[in-house]
Amino acid sequence: MSAFFFLADDQIRRLTCPSSGPLRLDARGRLAADGAEWVASVIPFAASERAPRRYAMVVAPDAGVSVGARHVTDGVHEIAHGDHVFFGQVEAIFSTDALPAPVQPAPGDPCPICCERVGEGERSAVLSCPRCGARACNVCWMAFPRGVCATPGCGQPAALRRLLWTPRLDDFYTWEDRECLPAQPQG
């Protein structure tokens, strides 16, 4: 599940993106109420059914949004895990880190990887990659090489028990770091 982590008043606030449909944000990086004016909208997409899920940010004209040091005036910009997004003076870090989610297979369905029956022996669950949706039983999942999802190009960590990435205050830019960022239009 993707999320934005906002820094405001030395507090980190999390805003979770829906798995389907847009997340509309106002000029201060807050949820835009229904019918309210929004400056950026985050939309999940995938090139195909098994392709890794990616995220695009649709920015309204003259919105004052920057991704990293690049000012986005309008249009569509792809965002990825770890991107710093600025809504005027408000900074956010985008994260797509998540754990594999258990899914309920139909009774008698085998594991898509090893073709063994789930529910017999050590195979107790079928797990779905949060990034690309690939499925495997818990035994196959733990055997993925290099500890990442087996789908080419996905790269999602496959560990079933790990701490999710959470930002620290020093992950955000300091005022001294912001001097190298482009000037934001006022308005």
How confident is the model over 43-86, as pLDDT tens digits?
988 887 767 788 999 998 888 888 888 888 778 889 988 999 98
CA of residue 95 relative to chain centroid, distance: 4
Q: Please write the tens of the pLDDT for every residue from 122-164.
A: 888 899 888 888 899 888 888 888 888 888 888 888 888 888 8
pLDDT score, position 83: 93
Residue 184 has pLDDT above 50, yes or no: yes
Structure tokens at 154: 């996905």
The mean predicted confidence, pLDDT, of the chain is 83
- How is the chain split among helix, strand and coil, in percent rounded to 5? 10, 35, 60
Question: In a 3-state reduction of DSSP, which class is residue 179?
Answer: helix
What confidence tier does 177 reach under pLDDT thresholds 50, 70, 90? low
C-beta atoms surrounding 26 within 10 Å: 18
Q: Are 155 and 96 in contact (CB under 8 A)?
A: no
pTM of the complete model? 0.75
Residue 187 has pLDDT above 50, yes or no: no
Q: Decide which of 180 and 165 is more confident.
A: 165
Question: In a 3-state reduction of DSSP, which class is residue 65?
Answer: strand
Query: d(Cα 34, Cα 25) in Å, to the nearest integer?
Result: 11
Burial 123-151 (b: 16+ CB within 10 A, else e): bebbbebbbbbbbbbbbbbeebeeeebbb
Question: In a 3-state reduction of DSSP, which class is residue 142?
Answer: helix
Residue 105 has pLDDT above 80, yes or no: no
